[in-house]
Amino acid sequence: MDRNSVGQVTPKKFTFAQKGDPMVLESGRTLGPVDIVYETYGEPDDTRSNAVLICHALSGDAHAAGYHDVHDKRTGWWDTMIGPGKAFDTRKFWVICSNIIGGCKGSTGPSSINPETGEPYGLDFPIITIGDMVDTQKRLIDHLGISRLHAIVGGSMGGFQVLEWSLRYPEMVRSAISIAFCARLSAQGIAFNAVGRSAITSDPNWQNGHYYGEPGPQQGLAVARMIGHITYLSEFLMDSKFGRRLQSADRLSYDFSSEFAVESYLNHKGSTFTERFDANSYLYITKAMDYFDISRAYGPLAEAFAKATARYLFVTYSTDWLFPTEQSREIVRAMLSTGRDVSFVEIESGYGHDAFLIEVEKLDRILSSFLCGIVERDPTGESDERFVCQ
Amino acid sequence: MDRNSVGQVTPKKFTFAQKGDPMVLESGRTLGPVDIVYETYGEPDDTRSNAVLICHALSGDAHAAGYHDVHDKRTGWWDTMIGPGKAFDTRKFWVICSNIIGGCKGSTGPSSINPETGEPYGLDFPIITIGDMVDTQKRLIDHLGISRLHAIVGGSMGGFQVLEWSLRYPEMVRSAISIAFCARLSAQGIAFNAVGRSAITSDPNWQNGHYYGEPGPQQGLAVARMIGHITYLSEFLMDSKFGRRLQSADRLSYDFSSEFAVESYLNHKGSTFTERFDANSYLYITKAMDYFDISRAYGPLAEAFAKATARYLFVTYSTDWLFPTEQSREIVRAMLSTGRDVSFVEIESGYGHDAFLIEVEKLDRILSSFLCGIVERDPTGESDERFVCQ
């Protein structure tokens, strides 16, 4: 066990929007009650001003660090970044990670019971947006008695939530860190998501979303995940990791088995994903990603960020072709044009989009420096001395 | 009607490997009888030395130019390049295009009748390779009384066939033109094909390939085609053609309809493809592409091309990310290292991989010059004066 681990943690649940007071979503539809599952690491300081909110990506969950049970083989998904002495140093920060609505990891989603029918929502679950995810997090942050977050951070779709937070609730965000992200999906990004959804909805076991208690569209979900995985890895990484290597033979098999190592890898990734993820959640979350568009909601980028007050840090990866650096540069340029406080780092990495989960050493250094810098430079004077870096 | 059209054409069929004398494939399995459907445009000269063989890509066929019926709405797939006054000038050249085996456009493939069972082959059809496709073309070229082809040309998988021809039968190839091609698929290329195949084979209607006479895996095939289409278009083209535009509304629909224009486009491409293509052929042909590997068959690139005698022309497109220019440069460098005769042009184009079918003007000029150049410079002295360019 990593001696800098946060140790054993227990997920908590916060429920709001109870009967008679549902949450109104961006679509105009309502949802309630809403459960939010979350975890916390470290402790709040006296004024609860040391909170850091971690926003997870498509298939993530609230379990960002530590372990639930001493027998767990895997730690939380960003355990490398959260703990004593790590970037999100739990000796300084009160780190919170909550699970998005629409998912299948405890927060309310399409597999939750619809109180109106007593059955799982399925496709009766309303379409949700990144803004709706942020609104639920806001309710949780209020509930935890936090008036301003020291930092909000997230990679990929987590980075979308960070941007949305900083524009929707600017007064609550001291610093915003988006990693491997964009301000809106390109046509190609939408295309990949759309094909993934087609794979699911064309699986006859999908049954228009009402498959709970039955096998479900596992094959379609596996194909969707395989498509996603291609976009998460760089071409460089795929070539160096797999190349044209055969999985278990020297000679071509002349049949349709998954004989190339890269085929076998993708098949494995696809099938294991179906054991831990709900196909309807995949539909809802990718749709939320497609809808995310800073400019549609807040106007042209320069105008959108003119109202923002957070200190921003943007981190991209040189071989991320899903959300290429150039898309982030566009946001940086727009922000600089109106004098926003933004730092920008492109990390040289061969790992593609997934680098933020894999290549953590450089990221750790950058985030540590940035989080310290915030405290030292914080013009509000709210800083707790304990934050100042050694 | 284009006044430079080749006009009305009639497909022809050549059958070989009759009972008792089957064709031996690279896998060691046999196939016979083998039908090859082909078309010809222009006329042979006295010595049949003016023949140009066109090799088609994944979903192409033998119908490269002209029309079959005066009521046809569409001409052959490369009609822009073949005809009087065009790059493949039918006043000079005898142009031949044959349909690959394994396909579903008339040549023998998985939907053909297996003489042993009287039923369609389905998955009893043997795995075929690019080399096998070339071998069947060689039989056709022999049958047509051609001892040496003036040129062989093809884009994408057609370009693979061109390379294979030039190495397998060097004495029969005066010039070889590969467009938007590579010497072997990268891991990412294999990955995209593998996911497409998974989409088909996980469709319950696929029934292990024996679906003829029944609905067939149309949904899986549509998803496979959608994946393919993403790789055929450049990100630039997708953004300029579709961007984040909605198909038929100003407001988000907040449902799972194909509301983005790019979604709608891909859905359309996917579903129309199922009307004209056989899912098993998609499996066999993509597998042949995955297997294609000049180095596996002929050694490192420099060594492989050391025996080649053709004059080569390689054309790539700046935004083709399926077969990027850099992969072709690698071949060019290897060829130059052993003094091969190779010309190389990267065309600036926003159209991505599909540019060879779309942006024909520049390509037409380059091919015309190259084809004339061959004749003027031909050291063999076999040139017919009629070829010399004006």
| pLDDT given at position A383 | 44
Q: What is the average pLDDT across A258-269?
A: 97
- Core vs surface per residue B55-86: b (16+ CB within 10 A) or e: bbbbbbbbbbbbbeeeeeeebbbbbbbbbbeb
Establish if A166 belongs to a structural domain: yes
* CB contact B191 to A (< 8 Å): yes
Q: Which secondary structure element, helix H or strand E, spans residue B151, and what is its range?
A: strand B151-155
CATH of the domain at A232: 1.10.1740.110
Please say if the pLDDT value at position B378 is more than 80. Answer: no
Establish if A3 belongs to a structural domain: no
Are A60 and A171 in a shared domain? yes
3-class DSSP state for residue A265? Answer: helix
* CB contact A287 to B (< 8 Å): yes
Q: What is the DSSP letter of A117?
A: T
Dihedral angle, C-alpha B157, B159, B165, B167, nearest 10 °: -110
Contact flag A202-B190 (C-beta cutoff 8 Å) = no
Task: Give the domain-ending residue among B286, B321, B353.
Answer: B286
One-letter amino acid for residue B22 of the chain: P
- Beta pairing, strands B342-347 & B311-317: parallel
CA distance A234 to chain B (A): 9
Q: What is the average pLDDT across A301-309?
A: 94
User: Would you place residue B390 in the very low, low, confident or very high pLDDT band (cuts 50, 70, 90)?
Assistant: very low
Q: Two tokens at B102?
A: 């394994």
Nearest residue, CB atoms, A238 vs list B126, B188, B204: B188
Nearest residue, CB atoms, A254 vs list B127, B239, B293: B127
In this predicted model, what pLDDT tens digit does every residue of B27-49 receive, in sequence order?
999 999 999 999 999 999 999 99
Q: Are B174 and B150 in contact (CB under 8 A)?
A: yes
Contact flag B263-A201 (C-beta cutoff 8 Å) = no
Single pTM value for the model: 0.94
Are B269 and B347 in a shared domain? no
| pLDDT given at position A2 | 73
On the 0-12 / 13-18 / 19+ scale of CB atoms within 10 A, A285 is buried
Interface A:B, Cβ pairs < 8 A: 149
Are B320 and B220 in a shared domain? no
Task: Give the domain-ending residue among B258, B286, B314.
Answer: B286
Establish if B6 belongs to a structural domain: no
Q: What is the DSSP string of A49-97?
A: --EEEEE--TT--S--SSBSSTT-SS--TTTTTBSTTSSB-TTT-EEEE
| pLDDT given at position B372 | 82
CA B177 – CA B363 distance, rounded (Å): 11
Q: Are B292 and B133 in contact (CB under 8 A)?
A: no
User: Would you place residue B135 in the very low, low, confident or very high pLDDT band (cuts 50, 70, 90)?
Assistant: very high
Report ipTM for this prediction: 0.93
In this predicted model, what pLDDT tens digit does every residue of B145-202 receive, in sequence order?
999 999 999 999 999 999 999 999 999 999 999 999 999 999 999 999 999 999 999 9
Q: Are A3 and A75 in contact (CB under 8 A)?
A: no
* CB contact A389 to B (< 8 Å): no
SS3 letters across B291-344: HCEHHHHHCCHHHHHHCCCCEEEEEEECCCCCCCHHHHHHHHHHHHHCCCCEEE
Q: Two tokens at A177?
A: 């860190």
- Beta pairing, strands A94-98 & A34-41: antiparallel
Please say if the pLDDT value at position B387 is more than 80. Answer: no
Which domain does A310 fall in, by range? 12-184+293-387
Collect all residues with Cβ–Cβ distance below 8 Å to B299 and sequence separation of at least 6. Answer: none
Q: Two tokens at A71?
A: 């027998």
Establish if B1 belongs to a structural domain: no
In this predicted model, what pLDDT tens digit does every residue of A27-81 receive, in sequence order?
999 999 999 999 999 999 999 999 999 999 999 999 999 999 999 999 999 999 9
Are A78 and A222 in a shared domain? no
Establish if B120 belongs to a structural domain: yes
CA B51 – CA B160 distance, rounded (Å): 19
Collect all residues with Cβ–Cβ distance below 8 Å to B185 and sequence separation of at least 6. Answer: A244, B193, B289, B290, B292, B293
Q: Are A173 and A165 in contact (CB under 8 A)?
A: yes
Name residue B67's beta-bridge partners.
Answer: B8
| pLDDT given at position B375 | 55
Taking alpha carbons only, the member of B243, B247, B262, B260 closest to residue A186 is B243
Q: What is the average pLDDT across A303-313?
A: 95
| pLDDT given at position B39 | 98
* CB contact B118 to A (< 8 Å): no
User: Would you place residue B373 in the very low, low, confident or very high pLDDT band (cuts 50, 70, 90)?
Assistant: confident
Are A179 and A327 in a shared domain? yes
Are A66 and A19 in a shared domain? yes
| pLDDT given at position A307 | 86
| pLDDT given at position A388 | 39
| pLDDT given at position B377 | 52
CATH of the domain at B177: 3.40.50.1820
Residue-averaged pLDDT of chain B: 94
| pLDDT given at position B376 | 52
Q: Are A13 and A37 in contact (CB under 8 A)?
A: yes
Q: Which secondary structure element, helix H or strand E, spans residue A343, and what is its range?
A: strand A342-347
Which residues 38-77 on chain A approach chain B with CB closer than 8 angstroms?
none
Other beta carbons less than 10 A from residue A373's beta carbon: 15
* CB contact B249 to A (< 8 Å): no
In this predicted model, what pLDDT tens digit does every residue of A320-340 receive, in sequence order?
999 999 999 999 999 999 999
| pLDDT given at position A3 | 79
CA A225 – CA A196 distance, rounded (Å): 7
SS3 letters across B30-87: EECCEEEEEEEECCCCCCCCCEEEEECCCCCCCCCCCECCCCCCCCCCCCCCECCCCC
User: Quick one: how far is CA A364 from the chain centroid?
Assistant: 17
Establish if A94 belongs to a structural domain: yes
In this predicted model, what pLDDT tens digit does every residue of A85-100 receive, in sequence order?
999 999 999 999 999 9
Q: Which secondary structure element, helix H or strand E, spans residue B267, and what is its range?
A: helix B261-276
Which residues 314-353 on chain A approach chain B with CB closer than 8 angstroms?
none
In this predicted model, what pLDDT tens digit does every residue of A187-245 receive, in sequence order?
999 999 999 999 999 999 999 999 999 999 999 999 999 999 999 999 999 999 999 99
In this predicted model, what pLDDT tens digit does every residue of A99-129 receive, in sequence order?
999 999 999 999 999 999 999 999 999 999 9
Are B42 and B164 in a shared domain? yes
CB < 8 Å to B201, chain A: 256
Q: Are A88 and A52 in contact (CB under 8 A)?
A: yes
Name residue B95's beta-bridge partners.
Answer: B41, B52
User: Would you place residue A372 in the very low, low, confident or very high pLDDT band (cuts 50, 70, 90)?
Assistant: confident
Q: What is the average pLDDT across B55-70?
A: 97
CA B203 – CA A200 distance, rounded (Å): 11
Are B205 and B346 in a shared domain? no
Are B301 and B273 in a shared domain? no
Contact flag A235-B188 (C-beta cutoff 8 Å) = yes
CA A71 – CA B175 distance, rounded (Å): 66
| pLDDT given at position B1 | 58
CA distance A68 to chain B (A): 35
Please say if the pLDDT value at position B239 is more than 50. Answer: yes
Establish if B7 belongs to a structural domain: no
| pLDDT given at position B246 | 96
Tally of structural domains, chain B: 2
Residue of A nearest to B245 (CA): A187
Are A23 and A151 in a shared domain? yes
Are B243 and B163 in a shared domain? no
Whether omega before B115 lies within 30 degrees of 0, making that bond cis, reads no
Whether omega before A33 lies within 30 degrees of 0, making that bond cis, reads yes
Task: Give the domain-ending residue among A286, A320, A339.
Answer: A286
CB < 8 Å to B197, chain A: 256
Q: Sheet of A342-347: strands edge to edge?
A: A12-16, A34-41, A94-98, A51-55, A151-155, A175-179, A311-317, A342-347
| pLDDT given at position A250 | 86
Are A33 and A120 in a shared domain? yes
Establish if A5 belongs to a structural domain: no
